[in-house]
Structure formats: C-alpha cells, structure tokens
Amino acid sequence: MSANGNATGSITRQTDDTYLLQGVLSFDSAAALARQGNELFKSAGATVSVDLSGVDRSDSAGLALLLEWMRAARKRNQTLVFSHVPRQIQDIAAVSGVKSLLNAESI
C-alpha cells in the first residue's frame, strides 16, 4: 500500500512476451509501473502482450500508462497488444478520443 492507503499495481512476466498487470492503476502507481514495464519490455520480442485482467481499478493515469508504454515500445520497434482492458479505461479512452490508439483485443 502507498502512503495514502491506496493499493498499488504490479506487472509480472508470464512468458517471454506476455505480462500480467494487476492491482490499482492510479496517479500513485502509474509512474513506477511505467518504469518497471518499460524495463521488462526491453528484453521482449517484437510483439508484447499485456493482460489487464488483474486490474482492480483505474483512473486516467491508467490510460496514460498504457499510452506511455506504447510510445516507448514504438521507439524500440515493438508492438504492444492489450487484452482484458477494464471498462474504466475503455470509457476514459473513448471520452478522450484515443480509444482507437489502443492496440487492444476485445474492446
């Protein structure tokens, strides 16, 4: 838990190119997750899959996190694909006009 009592998020490698994102994606956790994910993705292949089925809650920082990962992946000539994107992130992306930017399965 963070200092203000909110749960944090985590990202773990499932296979060489597949990762599981879990917990809460918020302003409290997004910066650390961005660094951690970018470090993990450096050793992955051309296509990186991120499963968001373990995400409990997200705010706009969760969407910003996914977009940051995509930006960094493009610089590494990688493609990120997201699965099980929570409704909260989908709704924020739609309202923000960036839903089409997310490489997501089942949106």
Other C-beta atoms within 10 Å of 51: how many? 19
Q: For residue 4, what pLDDT is reported?
A: 41
State pLDDT tens for residues 52-83. 999 999 999 999 999 999 999 999 999 999 99
Sites in the chain below the pLDDT cut of 50 = 1-6, 106-107
Q: Which residue has the tokens 């590494």?
A: 76
Structural domains present in the chain? 9-101 (3.30.750.24)
Q: For residue 2, what pLDDT is reported?
A: 37
With contact defined as beta carbons under 8 Å apart, do 34 and 61 qualify?
Answer: no
Radius of gyration in angstroms for the set of CA atoms belonging to the chain, rounded to a whole number: 13
